[in-house]
Structure 1
Amino acid sequence: MNERVILAALKEIEIHSLRFRMIDLTHRLHISKTSLYKIVESKDQLIYEIINYLMNNFNQKEKSIRNADLPVKQKIISFVCLYTEAFKRFDKNIYADLRTDYSSEWHRWSIFREKKINVLMDILQEGIQKHEFRKVNLDVMHQCLLVTSEALSQYIFLKKSNLTYSEALKHLSDIIFFGLENK
Protein backbone atom coordinates (compact mmCIF):
# COMPACT_ATOMS: atom_id res chain seq x y z
CA MET A 1 0.00 0.00 0.00
CA ASN A 2 1.20 3.47 -0.86
CA GLU A 3 2.25 5.31 2.34
CA ARG A 4 1.32 8.64 0.75
CA VAL A 5 -2.29 7.44 0.42
CA ILE A 6 -2.36 6.20 4.01
CA LEU A 7 -0.96 9.46 5.39
CA ALA A 8 -3.46 11.46 3.34
CA ALA A 9 -6.28 9.22 4.59
CA LEU A 10 -5.11 9.78 8.17
CA LYS A 11 -5.41 13.54 7.56
CA GLU A 12 -8.96 13.02 6.28
CA ILE A 13 -9.73 10.92 9.35
CA GLU A 14 -8.54 13.73 11.60
CA ILE A 15 -11.08 16.01 9.92
CA HIS A 16 -14.03 13.71 9.18
CA SER A 17 -13.42 10.64 11.33
CA LEU A 18 -13.98 7.42 9.39
CA ARG A 19 -16.85 9.07 7.57
CA PHE A 20 -14.43 10.74 5.14
CA ARG A 21 -15.25 10.31 1.47
CA MET A 22 -12.89 8.83 -1.06
CA ILE A 23 -13.45 11.89 -3.29
CA ASP A 24 -12.03 14.05 -0.47
CA LEU A 25 -9.00 11.81 -0.44
CA THR A 26 -8.53 12.23 -4.19
CA HIS A 27 -8.61 16.02 -3.77
CA ARG A 28 -6.04 15.86 -0.98
CA LEU A 29 -3.78 13.65 -3.11
CA HIS A 30 -4.41 15.61 -6.32
CA ILE A 31 -5.23 12.43 -8.21
CA SER A 32 -8.27 11.11 -10.04
CA LYS A 33 -10.73 8.66 -8.57
CA THR A 34 -9.57 6.11 -11.15
CA SER A 35 -5.97 6.54 -10.02
CA LEU A 36 -6.96 6.13 -6.39
CA TYR A 37 -8.85 2.91 -7.11
CA LYS A 38 -5.79 1.54 -8.90
CA ILE A 39 -3.93 1.94 -5.60
CA VAL A 40 -6.67 0.83 -3.24
CA GLU A 41 -9.61 -1.38 -4.13
CA SER A 42 -12.14 0.13 -1.72
CA LYS A 43 -12.55 2.24 1.37
CA ASP A 44 -12.83 -0.96 3.41
CA GLN A 45 -9.44 -2.07 2.13
CA LEU A 46 -8.02 1.38 2.89
CA ILE A 47 -9.25 1.22 6.49
CA TYR A 48 -7.69 -2.24 6.77
CA GLU A 49 -4.37 -0.90 5.43
CA ILE A 50 -4.47 2.11 7.76
CA ILE A 51 -4.92 -0.14 10.78
CA ASN A 52 -2.05 -2.33 9.53
CA TYR A 53 0.14 0.72 9.02
CA LEU A 54 -0.52 2.02 12.55
CA MET A 55 0.01 -1.39 14.14
CA ASN A 56 3.22 -2.06 12.18
CA ASN A 57 4.66 1.33 13.09
CA PHE A 58 3.77 0.73 16.70
CA ASN A 59 5.36 -2.74 16.67
CA GLN A 60 8.64 -1.38 15.26
CA LYS A 61 8.88 1.32 17.94
CA GLU A 62 7.82 -1.13 20.65
CA LYS A 63 10.64 -3.47 19.66
CA SER A 64 13.22 -0.73 20.14
CA ILE A 65 11.80 0.09 23.59
CA ARG A 66 11.85 -3.54 24.67
CA ASN A 67 15.41 -4.01 23.42
CA ALA A 68 16.70 -0.77 24.94
CA ASP A 69 19.06 -0.92 27.89
CA LEU A 70 16.79 1.07 30.20
CA PRO A 71 15.43 0.63 33.70
CA VAL A 72 12.14 -1.24 33.55
CA LYS A 73 10.16 1.74 34.85
CA GLN A 74 11.50 3.81 31.95
CA LYS A 75 10.55 1.06 29.51
CA ILE A 76 7.00 1.08 30.87
CA ILE A 77 6.73 4.85 30.70
CA SER A 78 8.15 4.82 27.16
CA PHE A 79 5.75 2.06 26.16
CA VAL A 80 2.71 3.89 27.57
CA CYS A 81 3.82 7.14 25.91
CA LEU A 82 4.24 5.29 22.62
CA TYR A 83 0.77 3.80 22.96
CA THR A 84 -0.93 7.09 23.73
CA GLU A 85 1.04 8.95 21.05
CA ALA A 86 0.51 6.32 18.36
CA PHE A 87 -3.24 6.37 18.75
CA LYS A 88 -3.87 10.01 19.60
CA ARG A 89 -5.68 10.39 16.27
CA PHE A 90 -8.29 7.95 17.49
CA ASP A 91 -10.90 10.08 19.19
CA LYS A 92 -14.37 9.08 20.40
CA ASN A 93 -15.92 9.39 16.92
CA ILE A 94 -13.32 7.19 15.30
CA TYR A 95 -13.79 4.47 17.89
CA ALA A 96 -17.58 4.66 17.48
CA ASP A 97 -17.28 4.51 13.67
CA LEU A 98 -14.78 1.67 13.79
CA ARG A 99 -17.00 -0.31 16.14
CA THR A 100 -20.20 0.18 14.13
CA ASP A 101 -19.09 0.49 10.50
CA TYR A 102 -15.91 -1.62 10.41
CA SER A 103 -16.55 -4.36 12.96
CA SER A 104 -13.86 -6.69 11.60
CA GLU A 105 -11.30 -3.89 11.95
CA TRP A 106 -12.58 -3.15 15.45
CA HIS A 107 -12.06 -6.81 16.28
CA ARG A 108 -8.49 -6.71 14.92
CA TRP A 109 -7.86 -3.53 16.87
CA SER A 110 -9.22 -5.11 20.07
CA ILE A 111 -6.93 -8.12 19.64
CA PHE A 112 -3.99 -5.79 19.01
CA ARG A 113 -4.82 -3.82 22.16
CA GLU A 114 -4.97 -7.04 24.19
CA LYS A 115 -1.58 -8.12 22.81
CA LYS A 116 -0.10 -4.78 23.83
CA ILE A 117 -1.45 -5.24 27.35
CA ASN A 118 0.31 -8.61 27.38
CA VAL A 119 3.53 -6.87 26.35
CA LEU A 120 3.07 -4.41 29.20
CA MET A 121 2.54 -7.35 31.56
CA ASP A 122 5.80 -8.93 30.35
CA ILE A 123 7.62 -5.68 31.09
CA LEU A 124 6.02 -5.51 34.56
CA GLN A 125 7.07 -9.11 35.21
CA GLU A 126 10.62 -8.16 34.21
CA GLY A 127 10.52 -5.31 36.72
CA ILE A 128 9.38 -7.64 39.49
CA GLN A 129 12.09 -10.18 38.65
CA LYS A 130 14.74 -7.45 38.71
CA HIS A 131 13.33 -6.19 42.04
CA GLU A 132 12.60 -2.78 40.54
CA PHE A 133 8.92 -3.24 41.49
CA ARG A 134 7.34 -4.93 44.43
CA LYS A 135 5.60 -8.22 43.82
CA VAL A 136 1.94 -7.74 42.95
CA ASN A 137 -0.76 -10.05 41.68
CA LEU A 138 -0.18 -9.82 37.94
CA ASP A 139 -3.43 -11.63 37.14
CA VAL A 140 -5.36 -8.85 38.88
CA MET A 141 -3.25 -6.19 37.15
CA HIS A 142 -3.78 -7.87 33.77
CA GLN A 143 -7.54 -8.03 34.22
CA CYS A 144 -7.67 -4.42 35.40
CA LEU A 145 -5.75 -3.24 32.34
CA LEU A 146 -7.91 -5.30 29.95
CA VAL A 147 -11.19 -4.09 31.39
CA THR A 148 -10.01 -0.52 31.79
CA SER A 149 -8.62 -0.22 28.26
CA GLU A 150 -11.96 -1.42 26.89
CA ALA A 151 -13.99 0.84 29.17
CA LEU A 152 -11.89 3.88 28.31
CA SER A 153 -12.57 3.37 24.59
CA GLN A 154 -16.36 3.52 25.02
CA TYR A 155 -17.90 6.37 23.04
CA ILE A 156 -20.33 7.35 25.82
CA PHE A 157 -17.51 7.64 28.37
CA LEU A 158 -15.24 9.59 26.02
CA LYS A 159 -18.01 11.96 24.99
CA LYS A 160 -19.18 12.55 28.58
CA SER A 161 -15.59 13.13 29.73
CA ASN A 162 -14.70 15.15 26.62
CA LEU A 163 -11.55 13.07 26.18
CA THR A 164 -9.85 11.21 23.40
CA TYR A 165 -8.83 7.61 24.05
CA SER A 166 -5.22 8.74 24.18
CA GLU A 167 -5.99 11.42 26.80
CA ALA A 168 -7.92 8.91 28.91
CA LEU A 169 -4.93 6.54 28.78
CA LYS A 170 -2.59 9.34 29.86
CA HIS A 171 -4.77 9.98 32.91
CA LEU A 172 -4.88 6.25 33.68
CA SER A 173 -1.11 5.88 33.44
CA ASP A 174 -0.68 8.91 35.71
CA ILE A 175 -2.90 7.26 38.33
CA ILE A 176 -1.19 3.87 38.00
CA PHE A 177 2.39 5.14 38.07
CA PHE A 178 2.08 8.08 40.41
CA GLY A 179 -0.91 7.00 42.52
CA LEU A 180 -3.32 9.25 44.34
CA GLU A 181 -1.01 10.38 47.08
CA ASN A 182 -0.21 14.12 47.08
CA LYS A 183 3.56 14.37 47.34
Structure 2
Amino acid sequence: MLQNKKEVIKMRMRMIQAAIEETGEKGIKFTMNDLARRLGVSKRTLYENFSSKEELIDAIIEHFFTTMKEKEKDIINNPNLSTMEKLKEIAMILPNSPRLMYISRFYEMKQYYPKQWEKVEKWLYEWEPEEGLIKEGLRNGQLRKANTIILRKMVIESIMSLAERSFLMKNNITLKEALHSMVDIILHGLVIEKGE
Protein backbone atom coordinates (compact mmCIF):
# COMPACT_ATOMS: atom_id res chain seq x y z
CA MET A 1 0.00 0.00 0.00
CA LEU A 2 2.85 2.36 0.93
CA GLN A 3 4.57 1.57 -2.39
CA ASN A 4 1.30 2.35 -4.14
CA LYS A 5 1.07 5.73 -2.40
CA LYS A 6 4.66 6.56 -3.40
CA GLU A 7 3.90 5.65 -7.00
CA VAL A 8 0.79 7.88 -7.01
CA ILE A 9 2.80 10.82 -5.61
CA LYS A 10 5.55 10.19 -8.19
CA MET A 11 3.01 10.05 -11.04
CA ARG A 12 1.26 13.24 -9.87
CA MET A 13 4.62 15.03 -9.70
CA ARG A 14 5.45 13.85 -13.24
CA MET A 15 2.13 15.27 -14.41
CA ILE A 16 2.71 18.59 -12.63
CA GLN A 17 6.21 18.93 -14.14
CA ALA A 18 4.88 18.09 -17.62
CA ALA A 19 2.01 20.57 -17.17
CA ILE A 20 4.55 23.28 -16.24
CA GLU A 21 6.45 22.48 -19.47
CA GLU A 22 3.18 22.69 -21.44
CA THR A 23 2.43 26.04 -19.80
CA GLY A 24 5.87 27.31 -20.79
CA GLU A 25 5.40 26.26 -24.41
CA LYS A 26 1.70 26.79 -25.09
CA GLY A 27 0.49 28.98 -22.25
CA ILE A 28 -2.20 28.18 -19.72
CA LYS A 29 -4.61 27.20 -22.49
CA PHE A 30 -2.85 23.86 -23.07
CA THR A 31 -5.30 20.96 -23.26
CA MET A 32 -5.40 17.73 -21.27
CA ASN A 33 -4.88 15.98 -24.64
CA ASP A 34 -1.61 17.93 -25.08
CA LEU A 35 -0.51 16.85 -21.61
CA ALA A 36 -1.49 13.19 -22.13
CA ARG A 37 0.51 13.17 -25.39
CA ARG A 38 3.58 14.68 -23.70
CA LEU A 39 3.44 12.10 -20.92
CA GLY A 40 2.56 9.15 -23.16
CA VAL A 41 -0.46 8.29 -21.00
CA SER A 42 -4.21 8.21 -21.58
CA LYS A 43 -6.48 11.11 -20.67
CA ARG A 44 -8.21 8.71 -18.29
CA THR A 45 -4.94 8.31 -16.35
CA LEU A 46 -4.73 12.10 -16.05
CA TYR A 47 -8.26 12.36 -14.71
CA GLU A 48 -7.62 9.53 -12.24
CA ASN A 49 -4.97 11.78 -10.67
CA PHE A 50 -6.58 15.19 -11.21
CA SER A 51 -10.36 15.46 -11.44
CA SER A 52 -10.17 18.59 -13.63
CA LYS A 53 -7.73 20.94 -15.30
CA GLU A 54 -8.52 23.47 -12.55
CA GLU A 55 -7.32 20.98 -9.92
CA LEU A 56 -4.15 20.41 -11.94
CA ILE A 57 -3.53 24.18 -12.17
CA ASP A 58 -4.03 24.43 -8.39
CA ALA A 59 -1.34 21.74 -7.99
CA ILE A 60 1.00 23.63 -10.37
CA ILE A 61 0.58 26.84 -8.32
CA GLU A 62 1.16 24.98 -5.04
CA HIS A 63 4.29 23.24 -6.40
CA PHE A 64 5.63 26.41 -8.02
CA PHE A 65 5.39 28.62 -4.95
CA THR A 66 6.37 25.91 -2.45
CA THR A 67 9.59 25.46 -4.48
CA MET A 68 10.16 29.23 -4.38
CA LYS A 69 9.56 29.40 -0.62
CA GLU A 70 12.01 26.52 0.00
CA LYS A 71 14.71 28.30 -2.02
CA GLU A 72 13.91 31.52 -0.15
CA LYS A 73 14.23 29.78 3.24
CA ASP A 74 17.65 28.35 2.28
CA ILE A 75 18.85 31.85 1.36
CA ILE A 76 17.53 33.47 4.56
CA ASN A 77 19.17 30.77 6.73
CA ASN A 78 22.54 31.07 4.96
CA PRO A 79 24.94 32.56 7.56
CA ASN A 80 27.52 33.43 4.87
CA LEU A 81 25.31 36.04 3.17
CA SER A 82 24.83 39.66 4.26
CA THR A 83 21.34 41.19 4.38
CA MET A 84 21.87 42.86 0.99
CA GLU A 85 23.16 39.63 -0.55
CA LYS A 86 20.14 37.75 0.78
CA LEU A 87 17.75 40.31 -0.72
CA LYS A 88 19.52 40.07 -4.09
CA GLU A 89 19.55 36.26 -4.01
CA ILE A 90 15.82 36.13 -3.18
CA ALA A 91 15.04 38.59 -5.96
CA MET A 92 16.98 36.37 -8.37
CA ILE A 93 15.19 33.10 -7.51
CA LEU A 94 12.86 33.51 -10.50
CA PRO A 95 15.44 34.57 -13.12
CA ASN A 96 17.88 31.84 -12.07
CA SER A 97 15.37 28.96 -12.14
CA PRO A 98 14.40 27.99 -15.72
CA ARG A 99 11.13 26.28 -14.75
CA LEU A 100 10.12 29.09 -12.41
CA MET A 101 10.52 31.49 -15.31
CA TYR A 102 7.23 30.14 -16.68
CA ILE A 103 5.49 32.55 -14.29
CA SER A 104 5.35 34.82 -17.35
CA ARG A 105 2.61 32.50 -18.63
CA PHE A 106 0.77 32.49 -15.28
CA TYR A 107 -0.53 35.96 -16.12
CA GLU A 108 -2.95 34.28 -18.56
CA MET A 109 -4.76 32.78 -15.56
CA LYS A 110 -6.15 36.22 -14.80
CA GLN A 111 -8.35 35.94 -17.90
CA TYR A 112 -9.05 32.19 -18.15
CA TYR A 113 -8.81 30.91 -14.55
CA PRO A 114 -9.62 33.84 -12.21
CA LYS A 115 -9.96 31.65 -9.09
CA GLN A 116 -6.52 30.19 -9.67
CA TRP A 117 -5.14 33.68 -10.37
CA GLU A 118 -6.38 34.78 -6.93
CA LYS A 119 -4.21 32.02 -5.44
CA VAL A 120 -1.18 33.28 -7.40
CA GLU A 121 -1.77 36.79 -6.05
CA LYS A 122 -2.17 35.46 -2.50
CA TRP A 123 1.21 33.71 -2.75
CA LEU A 124 2.85 36.84 -4.19
CA TYR A 125 1.58 38.98 -1.34
CA GLU A 126 3.16 36.73 1.32
CA TRP A 127 5.94 39.11 2.22
CA GLU A 128 7.04 38.24 5.79
CA PRO A 129 10.56 36.87 5.05
CA GLU A 130 11.44 39.81 2.78
CA GLU A 131 10.00 42.31 5.26
CA GLY A 132 12.12 40.73 8.00
CA LEU A 133 15.26 41.16 5.87
CA ILE A 134 14.41 44.79 5.08
CA LYS A 135 13.92 45.54 8.80
CA GLU A 136 17.24 43.82 9.52
CA GLY A 137 18.90 45.96 6.81
CA LEU A 138 17.45 49.11 8.39
CA ARG A 139 18.73 48.08 11.83
CA ASN A 140 22.27 47.31 10.67
CA GLY A 141 22.50 50.41 8.46
CA GLN A 142 22.76 48.57 5.12
CA LEU A 143 19.46 50.02 3.92
CA ARG A 144 18.10 53.53 4.25
CA LYS A 145 14.70 54.07 5.84
CA ALA A 146 11.82 53.49 3.44
CA ASN A 147 8.12 52.78 3.65
CA THR A 148 8.04 48.95 3.48
CA ILE A 149 4.34 48.93 2.52
CA ILE A 150 5.11 51.07 -0.56
CA LEU A 151 8.20 48.97 -1.34
CA ARG A 152 6.19 45.74 -1.18
CA LYS A 153 3.54 47.19 -3.50
CA MET A 154 6.23 48.39 -5.94
CA VAL A 155 8.00 45.01 -6.06
CA ILE A 156 4.84 42.90 -6.42
CA GLU A 157 3.22 45.16 -9.02
CA SER A 158 6.53 45.33 -10.93
CA ILE A 159 6.80 41.53 -11.03
CA MET A 160 3.16 41.21 -12.16
CA SER A 161 3.61 43.84 -14.90
CA LEU A 162 6.96 42.52 -16.09
CA ALA A 163 5.61 38.96 -16.25
CA GLU A 164 2.95 40.03 -18.75
CA ARG A 165 3.92 38.33 -21.99
CA SER A 166 2.77 41.15 -24.28
CA PHE A 167 5.09 43.61 -22.47
CA LEU A 168 8.08 41.28 -22.86
CA MET A 169 7.38 40.66 -26.55
CA LYS A 170 6.71 44.32 -27.36
CA ASN A 171 9.98 45.40 -25.75
CA ASN A 172 11.99 42.40 -27.02
CA ILE A 173 13.20 41.54 -23.53
CA THR A 174 13.23 38.31 -21.54
CA LEU A 175 11.68 38.02 -18.08
CA LYS A 176 15.16 37.32 -16.71
CA GLU A 177 16.52 40.60 -18.14
CA ALA A 178 13.48 42.54 -16.95
CA LEU A 179 13.72 41.21 -13.39
CA HIS A 180 17.50 41.80 -13.26
CA SER A 181 16.90 45.46 -14.21
CA MET A 182 14.06 45.78 -11.70
CA VAL A 183 16.20 44.44 -8.84
CA ASP A 184 19.10 46.73 -9.77
CA ILE A 185 16.86 49.84 -9.90
CA ILE A 186 15.06 49.03 -6.63
CA LEU A 187 18.22 48.18 -4.68
CA HIS A 188 20.54 50.82 -6.15
CA GLY A 189 18.27 53.52 -7.56
CA LEU A 190 19.17 55.79 -10.47
CA VAL A 191 21.45 58.29 -8.72
CA ILE A 192 25.16 57.85 -9.44
CA GLU A 193 27.15 58.11 -6.22
CA LYS A 194 30.45 60.00 -6.24
CA GLY A 195 33.32 57.73 -7.18
CA GLU A 196 31.18 55.40 -9.33
TM over 0.5: yes
Which has the larger displacement, 63-72 or 44-53?
A: 63-72
The percentage of counterpart residues that share the same residue type is 27
Q: CA deviation at 1:176?
A: 1.9
Tell me the amino acid that sits aligned with residue 101 of structure 2.
Answer: K
2:126 partner amino acid: K
Task: Please tell me the residue identity of whatever aligns with 1:43.
Answer: K
Cα distance, 1:138 vs structure 2? 3.0
In the alignment, structure 1 segments of 5+ residues that lack a partner are none
Report the Cα offset of residue 9 of structure 1. Answer: 0.9
The DSSP-based 3-state class of the residue aligned with 1:131 is: coil
Structure 1 equivalent of residue 6 of structure 2: none
Compared CA separation, residues 26 and 5, structure 1 to 2 (3 A): same
**Is 2:172 the partner of 1:162?**
yes
SS of structure 1 residue aligned to 2:145? coil
In 1, Cα distance between the equivalents of 2:157 and 2:114? Answer: 19
Q: Indicate the RMSD between aligned Cα atoms, in angstroms.
A: 2.2
Task: After superposition, give the CA deviation of every residue in 1:70-105 in whole Å (9 maximum; x if it has no partner).
Answer: 2101100110011434531122xx244211011111
Tell me which residue corresponds to 2:84: 73
Out of 130, 138, 160, the residue aligned to residue 148 of structure 2 is 138
Opposite residue 15 of structure 1, the aligned amino acid is E
Provide the residue aligned with 1:90 in structure 2: 103
Alpha-carbon distance in 2 for matches of 1:21, 1:41: 14
Partner of 2:63: 53
Q: How many residues align?
A: 180
Stretch deviating more after TM superposition (156-165 or 22-31): 156-165
1:38 CA drift (Å): 0.8
Task: Tell me: CA distance 1:166–1:121, structure 2 relative to 1, closer, same or farther (3 Å).
Answer: farther
Whether 1:120 and 2:130 are equivalent positions in the alignment is: yes
Residue aligned with 1:84, SS: coil
Give 2:25's aligned residue: 15
Equivalent-residue separation in structure 2 for 1:154 and 1:142 (angstroms)? 19
**TM-score scaled by structure 2?**
0.80
SS of 1:90's equivalent in the other structure is helix
Moved more, 77-86 or 30-39: 77-86
- The alpha-carbon deviation at position 171 of structure 1 amounts to 1.4
What TM-score do the two structures reach when normalised by structure 1?
Answer: 0.85
Unaligned runs of 5+ in 2: 1-8
- Structure whose residues are more often helix by fraction: 1
The 3 A distance-change label for structure 1 pair 41 and 27 is same
